[in-house]
Structure 1
């Protein structure tokens, strides 16, 4: 399955850390927001929470004024969990070239109103069943 575009952000002065690059915490927040919102859409339910974030390796810096595009794809659908691969790329406004900045895997869990995990709808699991085989 091809990756879907989840979010576009612009690195602004307020996002810059002490070394002149996008602060890693901001990037992580952007990735979590994009992935969580998308997980809710994929699972057709607003009650998806971040359960785990895999290792994050920052491959290249993002500078003030650069555009960041966040992509994602579903890796696995469990009984109550959704595993997604998320990748951030910076895009050159002039050439359109994209370079991967960082990537990671998120696991989200569907919860009820008391915060306990509950099953993801069968239609969602059926749609992505080919990933689990």
Structure 2
């Protein structure tokens, strides 16, 4: 059994020319790929099993991540079902020189734990015993899309 904070991962990707679109900012597909990869890591930390993407809820691009900036991906599991793990994902643009950050993308992904044959397997309960865990879970639940 893991806690919300055990699943917290923050990863960085420097936005290079090969990652950009015609506007010299990170191509949305690259941002989604980075979010999916880090989200799966958070889900696997909790499940202790391989996890695959089952659903992406409301992926909102609020502003671009310019070439040369760093794309920071924040990820953590905040809820678990029988075989699924819900993960909050946020992306930020970060200046590599100053560390100044601005939110760019927000979403919730659902991952399913699978065995070697790709069949769903149960996941343990996810706990939120510390103040940090409860704050992260509350923020994720508050930001969940409705409907």
TM-score (norm 2): 0.77
Asked if the contact 1:31–1:88 (Cα under 8 Å) also holds between the matched residues in 2, the reply is yes
Asked if the contact 1:6–1:35 (Cα under 8 Å) also holds between the matched residues in 2, the reply is no
List gaps (5 residues or longer) in structure 1.
none
Alignment partner of 1:50: what SS? strand
**2:30 — aligned with what?**
26
**Residue correspondences, number:** 127
Render the CA deviation track for 1:89-133: whole Å, top value 9, x for unaligned.
Answer: 11123332211010100000011222221111x3xx1535986xx
Alignment partner of 2:58: what SS? coil
Q: What root-mean-square deviation, in Å, do the aligned CA atoms of Structure 1 and Structure 2 show?
A: 2.1
Asked if the contact 2:78–2:126 (Cα under 8 Å) also holds between the matched residues in 1, the reply is no
Alpha-carbon distance between aligned partners in 2 of 1:128 and 1:119, rounded to the nearest angstrom: 19
**1:88 — aligned with what?**
91
List gaps (5 residues or longer) in structure 2.
138-147
**1:7 — aligned with what?**
11
State whether structure 2 residue 127 is matched by structure 1 residue 127: yes
TM-score (norm 1): 0.84
**Aligned equivalent of 2:44, options 32, 40, 63:** 40
